[in-house]
Amino acid sequence: MTVAVIQFGGSNCDRDSVRALSHLGIDAERVWYEDGLPDDATGVMLPGGFSYGDYLRAGAMAGRTPILASIREAAAEGLPVLGVCNGAQIGCEAGLTPGAFTVNRSARFQCERIHVRVENADTPWTAAYDEGAVLELPIAHGEGRFEADDDTYDRLVEEDRILLRYCDADGDVTDAANPNGSRDNVAGVLGSQETVAVMMPHPERATLPDLGGTDGTGLLRGFERTTTTV
C-alpha cells in the first residue's frame, strides 16, 4: 500500500508527512499535484502548508484543481483521505468535508501545543483511542477556526461526525482551551464517509519519538485500518 501525500506548490508538511508515515511502516510518497492521483494509491494525505500561497483564502484554489476532483471521486468509492491543517482547509473547499476553517479569533498565526478530546472513537482514524481520550498535539495555523451553518453543524453532531474537540489537559471542553474560536471547539470532522477526515492539529508532528510526544500516531495509523483501493 502507498499513501499519496499530495504536494502543491506551497505545501510544506509533505516531507514531514512522508517521514512520519514511513516511521510507522506505512508506505508513502509525495505526489506533485499536476501529475495526477496514482492508480495504485491506497490512501491520500493532504498535508499542511500554503497550497497556492493562499493569498485569496486558505485552500480555495487547491480545492478546485483537477487532482482534487479525482480525489473526491476516489473518496466516494472508499479511498481513505486525511486532510491536515492546510489539507483540512483544502478538504472543506473541495467539498470533501462540510464547514470551513477560517481566520483565528486572535487574527494571528498560532504555533503551540494544545489538547484535543476524541469525540468519536469508532472511526479508522480514532480506533486506537477510547472515546474521551485526551491527546496532546501541535497546531500551527492562522486560519483554523471551524465554522459551519446551524443546519450543517446540527447534522454533523447528529451523525456523530465531530472527530476531535479542543479541550484542556483534563479533557474538559472549555472556551479557554479553544485556541482559535472554533465553533464548539471543533478541531476535526468526518466527511460523509468515515474514511474521510480533516483536522487542524498536526499528527505527523506528534509521531517521531525524538521530538517528544507521540500522541498523533494513532491518527495516522488510520491508513492501516482502511484497506480499500480504487
Cα-Cα-Cα-Cα dihedral sign, residues 102, 136, 210, 17:
negative
The residue from 73, 212, 227, 228 that contacts other proteins (CB under 8 A) is 212
* Alpha carbons 79 and 43: distance in angstroms, whole number: 6
**CB distance 7 to 29 below 8 Å:** no
**CB distance 59 to 51 below 8 Å:** yes
The residue from 133, 208, 225, 230 that contacts other proteins (CB under 8 A) is 208
DSSP state of 50: -
Q: Characterise 185 by phi-psi region: left (phi > 0), alpha (psi -120 to 50), beta (else).
A: left
For 130, residues 6+ apart whose C-beta sits below 8 A from its C-beta are 118, 121
Decide if residue 66 touches other proteins (CB under 8 A): no
The residue from 106, 174, 227, 228 that contacts other proteins (CB under 8 A) is 106
> Which span sits near other proteins by CB under 8 A: 69-77, 107-115, 146-154, 167-175?
107-115
Q: How is residue 221 written as a grid cell?
A: 495509523
* Alpha carbons 192 and 214: distance in angstroms, whole number: 28
The residue from 5, 82, 140, 198 that contacts other proteins (CB under 8 A) is 140
Residue 78 vs 213, nearer CB to other proteins = 213
Decide if residue 152 touches other proteins (CB under 8 A): no
85 part of the active site:
yes
202 part of the active site:
yes
Q: How is residue 123 written as a grid cell?
A: 472511526
Decide if residue 175 touches other proteins (CB under 8 A): no
Question: CB count, 10 Å around CB of 111?
Answer: 10
Decide if residue 45 touches other proteins (CB under 8 A): no
The minimum distance between CB 95 and other proteins, in angstroms, equals 24
> Which span sits near other proteins by CB under 8 A: 128-136, 138-146, 153-161, 163-171?
138-146
Residues contributing to the site for other proteins (CB under 8 A):
9-13, 15-16, 19-20, 32, 34, 48-50, 52-55, 106, 108-112, 138, 140, 142, 202, 204-205, 208, 210-212
Give the catalytic positions in this structure: 85, 202, 204
